[in-house]
Amino acid sequence: MEKDYTLLYSSPQRGAGGARNVGIDHAKGRWLIFVDADDYLGERAFDIFYTYLNEEAEVIYFCSDCIFSDTQEHSDRSDIFNQMVRDYLECRIPEEKIRTHFFTPWPKMVSHALVQQHGLRFDEVVASNDVYFSMLIGFHAHKIKAVDEIVYVATVNKGSLTMRHDPAVILARFEVYLRFNRFIRNKGLRQYQRSVMYLLVRALKCGFSTFLTCMGLMWKYKQNPFVGATKWGKAAIGIWKRNRKYQKYITR
């Protein structure tokens, strides 16, 4: 019986970014869709995807749900991206915002030709391998589209990357955000830089050595540590509430 899929192998040392890159290297279709191993597509996902097979846009942004894997209750992990889609459709945010800040590779349809034309690949790092790639596809796409329909379900598990606060993860995320900010600055989009203060504080909690490494990276990438300072208070409260809610899932 002929299989309707191809199973590929990626070395664990390459991480999630490496696995995605192997998929890109072997892809043949017009569109790329990325699904994490612990997540799944919604029941109507492919019906919705088929509607946009001939769409001229090179990146199509959809909505997603997120649940705790053990209780099946709703998590707010994807809420910010869903709101971004709706704000964009209602013209409440500029187009550059969704292009640069829709950080997850899901839930999206991404033009295979766009990725190949610009030689785009995921970072093969411990964490945040998708942030730079997601920004680049949004930046390079000639046309984008947003659709307020849920096609993807993400899960929150104890010890998953989004719940890890150990030094290796903090340092990986920190350098990815610094690279992201440098690219944004160089393209005249300084206002869309991300604050790195939360990660800097988290690095200090991991130990002085981790903190010093982050300070060295800030010097290397010429990062202003006060970017986003006007929003630190509100952000700190939100992070504190979120960490309390997710406490049993966080590992250090």
pLDDT of residue 37: 87
pLDDT of residue 248: 59
pTM (2 d.p.) = 0.89
> How far apart are the C-alpha atoms of 63 and 170, rounded to whole Å?
27
> How far apart are the C-alpha atoms of 60 and 50, rounded to whole Å?
12
SS3 72: coil
Q: Which helix (H) or strand (E) holds 95?
A: helix 95-101
pLDDT tens-digit series, residues 129-184: 999 999 999 999 999 999 999 999 999 876 566 667 789 999 999 999 999 999 99
pLDDT of residue 64: 97
pLDDT of residue 1: 46
Ranges of the chain whose pLDDT falls below 50: 1
pLDDT of residue 159: 57
Give all domains of the chain, ordered by start, each with its CATH number.
1-157 (3.90.550.10), 158-252 (no CATH)
Place of tokens 């920004």: 135
